[in-house]
Amino acid sequence: MQKLVIDTDPGVDDALAILMAHAAPDTEVLALTIAAGNVGLAHTTRNALKLVELIGAATPIHPGAATPLVAVPEDAAFVHGVDGFGDVGYAAPKRAAEREHAAATLVRLARAHPGELTYVMLGPLTNLALALALEPALPTLVKRLVVMGGAVTGRGNLPMPRLTVEFNIGFDPEAARVVFDAWPELELVDWEAVVRHGIAYAELDRWFATGGAIAEFYEAISRKTRAFMAGTRDTEVWHGADALAMAVALEPARVAQWAQRRVMVELVGEHTRGMTVVDWNERCGRPANTKIALEFPLERFRTIVSHALGVR
């Protein structure tokens, strides 16, 4: 049985990844720890509560960091909607969030299950950086750390002036620096890999038409995001960043190609603050700290996503 803890800032693509984890066989989601990122913490927490209510899961929801460690927050409401779920006006969830802070939850669960847990980081790394301050030995307690973030050759997804930077790392570069410097080996699914693993909009539409209540909900909350993507990229495919990261977390043996390199996080620069700098030519004299996932079988990725939406 694979045991996951998912740190997330839902967000439309986070929602799909959470659905994938709960639909996966032989997988238990012990908790969702929540951060601000795509939108503010009140919205990301409410969205997580609504999602687990929709699928009938008892997964505890632990709110955490409402702001980056240092930076002024810059959210992605223009992509995800003001509420992060497309502003569709869904009915409020009936459940309440837990009182324990997300960082404390990350530490408590790692201590309770040493060497057993996979931490899947789908948003900014603020909660994990705080957890490392509470428990510096955390990397020795966690079996795997999977991070969605970065742009390994500088082809990011932020607007000017930080074109080299991906959103999750760019939202809180200081937290990302703490995590990358502390972890001896993490698994990275970066934005550039996401762009290589698109799913056709026409295929999504077929799934939405046949998947039932979960697919119907996801179609509604993702409508604004899909329209944004379709209007800003010259492509007929949709890119689900957190969905690809979750596929790698669930089935790492299917990754067809990894690159093991040193990855560092830049903290200064008008164009580069938050950039993930990769020592591709192994010249920095420091050991590799990151396994970069380069290729996941697209057909298998499509299958995992469609199953999460209720399509069989």
137 Cα distance to chain centroid = 23
271 counts as catalytic: no
The whole-angstrom separation of Cα 5 and Cα 29 is 6
The whole-angstrom separation of Cα 156 and Cα 171 is 13
The whole-angstrom separation of Cα 195 and Cα 224 is 19
11: its two tokens: 């967000």
User: Considering 62, 197, 239, 307, which one is annotated as catalytic?
Assistant: 239
Nearest to 63 by CA among 149, 147, 111, 127: 127
Three-state secondary structure readout of the chain: CEEEEEEECCCHHHHHHHHHHHHCCCEEEEEEEECCCCCCHHHHHHHHHHHHHHHCCCCCEEECCCCCCCCCCCCCHHHHCCCCCCCCCCCCCCCCCCCCCHHHHHHHHHHHCCCCEEEEECCCCHHHHHHHHHCCCHHHHCCEEEEECCCCCCCCCCCCCCCCCCHHHHHCHHHHHHHHHHCCCEEEECHHHHHCCCEEHHHHHHHHHHCCHHHHHHHHHHHHHHHHHHHHCCCCEECCHHHHHHHHHHCHHHCCEEEEECEEECCCCCCCCCCEEECCCCCCCCCCCEEEEEECCHHHHHHHHHHHCCCC
Residues annotated as catalytic (active site), given as ranges: 239
